[in-house]
Structure 1
């Protein structure tokens, strides 16, 4: 009996030892790869998010443009990350999951995110009286590459009758509060500054022009209507009333009404069609919050204007614009024509370069 008990104890010890050896030699297994990933441009950064990987102690790493070096300084415990960009360009992202010192394979690649910012914009205005060439140069904040610091403007006008040349220059300086443009100082111009007022939803409600002595010259007010239109009025007596209608963040229609030509009721209506490409100013921080100064997100390809006095048509005008684009869908050139009965007449040529 004693021999049987001894053998049983030895057998149990051997089994326990084998089990312990197997556990200690088990190979760690890397977690699964995140299945989905999204990347969206947000100001000067990209918001990256992905599907959560199940398990305890899971962390994540994010990689840009398939670079082998991760861009997060510390392991990420949430399925999101903001990549602050320091340059323009095209960017894609992949994500790995980590557990127990093991890293998964890289996951799917996000859609491409593109950041383009205008460097120069040259506009040639053509008329029967003169030709004017205006050059705009854009400068941005070094710590936030989408925040506009200034636009330097140089212009040259040639009077066609005697070839007289007139030149000038000015600089527009921009002030921000967070992501919103709150003030613009225009040096070497008749109106030295403009201030912008917003509501709690970051929608512009007023534009205040000031004189060189700091006093208010006039104020333009913007009412945001329930139907999505915006009504513009001013304390200037001859300003009239403007009503803007939008579609996909573009001004597809405006109606202007005022007492003109004595006491007649003048009404002007403009309908516009836009392309689906990117405007040059799409990514400038705060620009698209400005109603009348903003660049918009797409490009106007045609517009038709009808003006009436007391219901009688007194003027009609139509324009069309032709564009070329770069590989990222941002405009490089624009040719604007006024449509006449005989043939389109070129009125404006624009060339844009990017950083």
Structure 2
């Protein structure tokens, strides 16, 4: 009898153990999806980030534009991802969390990210002496669409007095170091070098100098940039009569410049210009590193109006006014620009620009 009781106890223990093992191997439960997600254009791609999901061994997958195929090659262990774009357009993102071989449902969708890049730009200048029509064509890197490879520039100038036509036809090719443009080389139609510009940056990634070289590689001149407080950038050069340019930047826009120099005859020349901008996007805004190389030329938004006062030895010798009218596409990028000048109302049309996008 005692033996039977012992066997019965052992059988009950084995049964209980098996039942416990079965409970511990219950079907795993998928984790919850991230509750927030952000996406923003930055440095040649889109920075995607999201809220961390609690738990051990959590990884993530990122999906673009509700496509069922994830865009990350390997599971992500951090709550961030950079999507390097190979095309323009509109993009949204969503993220899933993974644990124990189980993937959550897709989470919330990010706000839309819009990438516009100029394809062509045509500028027609209207003058009483000569008219110029310039055409610019932009080409980008297939593996990172925001990197510019080349810019073809063709212009035809017609002198109105005798109808003499002058043609300018070059191609600018761009060299990058990561996301900074380090060199632009200009080529003639026969593929010979016309000139080049080399760009040098400091550890803060600010442009500190631009070196202009001729077709044979010799230095023609160097432009240097120094950075002060309150958005001030000072430009100097070893080029004769270059003088000093002081630019004031605010929210990415050059709102003022002062150009001062002294000529051979000792005349002190000062030109001061103030600018007003719209709130829309420059056509070149998303070209990687492009605007960094164009201090004193490009801004984040489009110039709406400007005024220039020129003095010599403290006496005002000239004033200029200009204003521009724009049309925009649905994403807030310029399609057309009409530029007017004249005193005092700036009503004479002197330039027309048309832009297309990829």
Question: How high is the TM-score relative to the length of structure 2?
Answer: 0.90
Pairing 1:215–2:183 present: no
Within a 5 Å distance, the mapping from 1:268-307 to structure 2 comes to 268-292=271-295, 295-307=298-310
CA separation of 1:208 and 1:2: change in aligned 2, threshold 3 A: same
- For 2:337 and 2:172, how far apart are their aligned partners in 1? 23
CA separation of 1:219 and 1:14: change in aligned 2, threshold 3 A: closer
CA separation of 1:125 and 1:190: change in aligned 2, threshold 3 A: farther
Structure 2: stretches of 5+ with no match in the other structure: none
- For 1:339 and 1:153, how far apart are their aligned partners in 2? 28
CA separation of 1:237 and 1:343: change in aligned 2, threshold 3 A: closer
Q: Runs of 4+ in structure 1 displaced over 6 angstroms?
A: 1-8
- 2:167 alignment partner in structure 1: 167
Pairing 1:137–2:140 present: no
CA deviation after TM superposition for structure 1 residue 92, in Å = 0.6
CA deviation after TM superposition for structure 1 residue 187, in Å = 2.5
CA deviation after TM superposition for structure 1 residue 296, in Å = 2.8
Within a 5 Å distance, the mapping from 1:37-116 to structure 2 comes to 37-116=37-116
Alpha-carbon deviations, 1:43-94, whole Å to 9, x = none? 3321211111111121111110111221122222221112121111111100
Given that residues 121 and 353 in structure 1 are in contact (C-alpha distance below 8 angstroms), is that contact kept between their aligned partners in structure 2?
yes
Bigger shift: residues 214-223 or 90-99: 214-223
Instruction: Name which of 232, 257, 260 aligns with 2:260.
Output: 257
CA deviation after TM superposition for structure 1 residue 275, in Å = 1.7
Secondary structure of the structure 2 residue equivalent to 1:192: strand
The CA RMSD over aligned residues, in Å, is: 2.7
- 2:206 alignment partner in structure 1: 203
Pairing 1:242–2:245 present: yes
Bigger shift: residues 240-249 or 100-109: 100-109
Bigger shift: residues 307-316 or 163-172: 163-172
In the alignment of these two chains, the number of paired residues is: 355
- 1:32 alignment partner in structure 2: 32
Alpha-carbon deviations, 1:145-196, whole Å to 9, x = none? 2222211111122222343433331111222222222222223499612222
- For 1:131 and 1:27, how far apart are their aligned partners in 2? 77
- For 1:117 and 1:153, how far apart are their aligned partners in 2? 17
CA deviation after TM superposition for structure 1 residue 346, in Å = 0.8
Structure 1: stretches of 5+ with no match in the other structure: none
Given that residues 269 and 311 in structure 2 are in contact (C-alpha distance below 8 angstroms), is that contact kept between their aligned partners in structure 1?
yes
Secondary structure of the structure 2 residue equivalent to 1:145: coil
- For 1:131 and 1:120, how far apart are their aligned partners in 2? 20
Question: How high is the TM-score relative to the length of structure 1?
Answer: 0.91
CA deviation after TM superposition for structure 1 residue 351, in Å = 0.7
CA deviation after TM superposition for structure 1 residue 210, in Å = 1.7
CA deviation after TM superposition for structure 1 residue 273, in Å = 1.2
- 1:148 alignment partner in structure 2: 148
Bigger shift: residues 17-26 or 224-233: 17-26
CA deviation after TM superposition for structure 1 residue 27, in Å = 3.9
- For 1:85 and 1:342, how far apart are their aligned partners in 2? 44
- For 2:342 and 2:109, how far apart are their aligned partners in 1? 47
- For 1:169 and 1:14, how far apart are their aligned partners in 2? 89
Given that residues 60 and 76 in structure 1 are in contact (C-alpha distance below 8 angstroms), is that contact kept between their aligned partners in structure 2?
yes
Bigger shift: residues 206-215 or 111-120: 206-215
Secondary structure of the structure 2 residue equivalent to 1:73: coil
Given that residues 320 and 339 in structure 1 are in contact (C-alpha distance below 8 angstroms), is that contact kept between their aligned partners in structure 2?
no
Secondary structure of the structure 1 residue equivalent to 2:152: strand
Instruction: Name which of 310, 313, 318 aligns with 1:315.
Output: 318
- For 2:69 and 2:343, how far apart are their aligned partners in 1? 59
Given that residues 326 and 332 in structure 1 are in contact (C-alpha distance below 8 angstroms), is that contact kept between their aligned partners in structure 2?
yes
